[in-house]
Each structure stands twice: as C-alpha cells, then as structure tokens.
C-alpha cells in the first residue's frame, strides 16, 4: 500500500517540450512502482503514485525562484 | 487544528461531468470536518480541508497510469 | 483511488488519554472513507487513509507553538 | 536540506490581483529560506521551497468552502 | 530538483523484521533517484527523497485499519 | 489560512544537540508565520505551521542516505 509522490518542476526534459510528457509520466510510474516491488516486495497493484508538477515560479532553491538560482549558479566562475 | 488533505483524480463522478463539482467539494468539506468533530471533538472552525485534484495521467496504480490500469483490470477474465 | 491524509496534534481527546486511541483512528478511517463513497461514489477499497500525529511542539498557530497560542487565546478578555 | 511547502489559496493579496504574484512568490521563497538559515543554520542552497496555490473552492474551513465561511464570520454580530 | 516522498507502513518485508531496514531504505533512495535520472535526466544530486513510515494503525484501507482489512480480504472465499 | 510544512532532518544544529530544540521550533514557527504576514498580509492567527522531523536514514540526497552523501561530498578533492 505504498504511496509515492513525485514533485517536479513543470518543464520539458528536452528541447521542444515544455512539460513532462505523458510517456515520461508512465515511465516514472512504472519505474518507482518497480522499485517498491524489488526492495520491499510490495505488489504493483498495492502502490499508488502521484505526480505533482510545480510551476517554475513556485519552486524555490537557494533563496530564489529556481530559474533565477540556476542563472546565478551558471554565471559563477569556476 | 486538524488538516485534512483529500487527493482525487480529476474526473467526474457521473456521466456529463469531467471533474469534481463545486457542490461535491462542499459536501466533501462538510463531511470530513464533521468526522473530526464526531470522533475527536474538534470544532468545525479548527479544521482546514484541502482538496487536490490530480490529472488522470499523473496518477499511477499497478505500475501504470490509472486509466490503463483500469482497462487492464476490466479485461481480466474471471 | 482517493488518498485522505489527516494531520492532528498528538494529544488525547479526553482526560486520561495522551494521544489518539486506536479506536478513534479506526473511526476516523471509517468516517472519511464513507464520505468519499457517499459524495464521489468511490468504493471503500479504493480509498487510502493516512493519519499523521504531530507533536504539540511541532504545530504552530498564531505565530506560536499551539499550546502557547491556546493559552494566549484563553487569557484574552471577553 | 530542508523542504518548505507553502499552501495558500489562489487569490490576490490586494485589489486588482487575482492570484499570488511572481514577486510575492519570490519574497516568500527568500523569506522562509532566510528563516531556516537564521534558526537552524541551513545554507540557502540546501533549502527547497514549494508553493502550492489551492483554488478557493478546494479549501475548506469551518465545514464550508472558505469563501462561504468568511461570509458567515463577517455577518456574525459582534 | 525533484522531491520524491515514499510513504509505507512501518512493518518488516521479511519474517524477523518489524520495520523497513536501513539497507532497504538506502536501496529505495538509490532506486527512485535513478528513475528520475533515467526518465527525466535529473542529476542524482538534484533529487531529495523522504521516506515516511506510517504506523499500521494509522493507515486505512477499505474503510478499516489496514491489518483488519487484510484479514477480511484473506478470509474472503475465492 | 496558509499551511506551511517544514521538513528537516532530525539532527541538532549545534554540537551537543541531537535534534531540533523546542526553542528553535518556536522560532521557526514565528519566523515563517511572519513571512506570510509581511508578504501576503495573512494574519498570524490564520497560519498553521507543521514541522516534520525526518530520521537521517529516511532522507536521501544524491542517490544515497544523506549522511553517506555528505561524507562523499566532503571527501571530494577540491
């Protein structure tokens, strides 16, 4: 009866995508359900998965909205 | 001060609806708040309820997106 | 497939109890599962309920730990 | 590595706004991350913040959808 | 920056264990982090995993505490 | 009516402490409630705060339990 909640920013994983695709969601669901089966022997039909996509401006990191934080990190000299 | 979070798929409970209606949400809020009052004696004004509707493709069950899982179950003989 | 999460402070509902009892938990589970059945027609076996008991000092209200806040409210004149 | 989740109703804080603005979100992120730094000495880059905006009809208080509850409170004589 | 929350009942996966072991937790963390890398190309160091163990009496299924529900299902004739 | 959930590892912020102290929790509650007041004009008495302390072995980062991850990072040469 596990519940797995996956929170990710709403953005594409590849150029041309602006969000997680239905196929990627299906693979996330399959993948984490399999982990619960492999590690804890939980049958697939006992696991719920909930994916929550979070708008970029609603996700903070480093005290900043995540896009601003990524820019700051990338501009940090090596 | 209880907090009750209700997560459901975004779909209608009846033909013609494609999501939970405002009236159904009001009844969910009233119902679960009443349960907290009845069982733990929590006053209604102390309870917060948050309803989270989850897109069908974001909900996994049986290692599959939930629509695919429902189809598979329904086609299982016996 | 609803998931209902109930967060309450870890305290008794009656003198002599210092936490939610197993019987009260069973009644919370039964009660909210029934609400989902009544309002959205979700079968009982499709609903998961998770009860989270939160230590008193971990719950804040009014900018204070909840016990301090309750005392402050109770001492407020009329 | 703290995670701070902020749940608020989707509404404006001032006349003319109908939701939390990007600037307000940035200030929420900055503010709560700073609290974690000040109190627990967690570096800013170790803190994630997730803001969840909840539709007004999905938020319950006092056994009612929150807008209905606010009206009821405001109409309560002194 | 994904956050993966895994909620499981506090019980052993094998006879002799009465909870999830540290080794099993490490494998859950490794497994789901790898899924996020494989599917969405999220670097391992960007993923947080939180495992929440829920007491058996705090988990409801089928309108009952989960242990009672499991007994009922197992006693259902074929 | 905001709800702020703060998840941190169960560990001390200073030598000699092995968990977050009651005083630190009170300051977290005061601090984040003040942020909601300052930024969104939410009255203190409308904000709930829930602090969740997560066992070190239940928190993952970098595909590892967090203690193992910290050791690995610290041993990375320059």
Q: What is the pLDDT of residue C75?
A: 82
- For the stretch E34-57, pLDDT in tens is 999 999 999 999 999 999 999 999
The least confident of D74-78, E16-20, F50-54 is D74-78
Residue C53 near residue C59, CB atoms below 8 Å: no
Residue C9 near residue C57, CB atoms below 8 Å: no
Residue of B nearest to C39 (CA): B24
Annotation: CATH topology of B3-75: Macrophage Migration Inhibitory Factor (3.30.429)
Q: What is the pLDDT of residue A77?
A: 63
In chain F, what percentage of residues exceed pLDDT 90? 82
Chain B CB contacts of D59 below 8 Å = 48-51
Helices first, then strands: H and E counts in chain F: 2, 4
pLDDT at residue F26 greater than cutoff 90: yes
Measured CA to CA, the distance from residue C73 to residue D72 in angstroms comes to 21
B39–C24 C-beta distance less than 8 A: yes
C9–B27 C-beta distance less than 8 A: no
Measured CA to CA, the distance from residue B64 to residue B72 in angstroms comes to 10
Q: What is the pTM of this model?
A: 0.95
D2 is annotated as an active-site residue: yes
Q: Count of CB atoms within 10 A of residue E59's CB?
A: 24
Q: What is the pLDDT of residue E16?
A: 84
Chain B CB contacts of A30 below 8 Å = 60, 63-64
Q: What is the pLDDT of residue C44?
A: 97
pLDDT at residue C76 greater than cutoff 80: no
B22–D64 C-beta distance less than 8 A: no
Q: Count of CB atoms within 10 A of residue B72's CB?
A: 13
What does residue B12 show for φ and ψ, rounded to 5 degrees? -80, 155
Measured CA to CA, the distance from residue B13 to residue C41 in angstroms comes to 7
F70 — pLDDT class (breaks 50, 70, 90): very high
Average pLDDT per 10 consecutive residues for chain A, totaling 78 residues: 96 88 98 98 96 97 96 78
How would you classify the pairing of strands E59-61 and E64-65?
Answer: antiparallel
Query: Would you kindly state where each structural domain of chain D is located, as residue ranges?
Result: 3-75
pLDDT at residue F21 greater than cutoff 70: yes
The least confident of B15-24, F19-28, F40-49 is B15-24
**Best A21, A46, A49 residue to mutate vs chain B (most B CBs within 10 Å):** A49
- For the stretch C1-55, pLDDT in tens is 899 999 999 999 888 888 999 999 999 999 999 999 999 999 999 999 999 999 9
- Residue ranges of the alpha helices (H) in chain E? 22-40, 66-74
Q: What is the pLDDT of residue A15?
A: 84
Q: Given B2, B15, B65, B77, which residue is catalytic?
A: B2
F54–E53 C-beta distance less than 8 A: no
Reported ipTM: 0.95
Distance of CA D26 to the CA centre of its chain: 12
Residue F19 near residue F12, CB atoms below 8 Å: yes
Q: What is the pLDDT of residue D17?
A: 87
CA B35 to chain D, closest CA, distance in angstroms equals 10
Residue of E nearest to F62 (CA): E45
Residue A34 near residue E32, CB atoms below 8 Å: no
Q: What is the pLDDT of residue C1?
A: 84
D57–B53 C-beta distance less than 8 A: no
**Best C48, C49, C50, C51 residue to mutate vs chain A (most A CBs within 10 Å):** C48
pLDDT at residue D78 greater than cutoff 60: no
């Amino acid at each position: 009866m596990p519940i797995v909640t996956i929170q990710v920013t709403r953005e594409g994983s590849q150029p041309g995508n602006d969000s997680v695709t239905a196929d990627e969601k299906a693979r996330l669901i399959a993948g984490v359900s399999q982990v619960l089966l492999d590690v804890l022997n939980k049958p697939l039909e006992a696991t719920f998965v909930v994916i929550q996509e979070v708008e970029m401006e609603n996700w903070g990191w480093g005290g900043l909205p995540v896009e601003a934080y990524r820019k700051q990190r990338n501009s940090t000299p090596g």
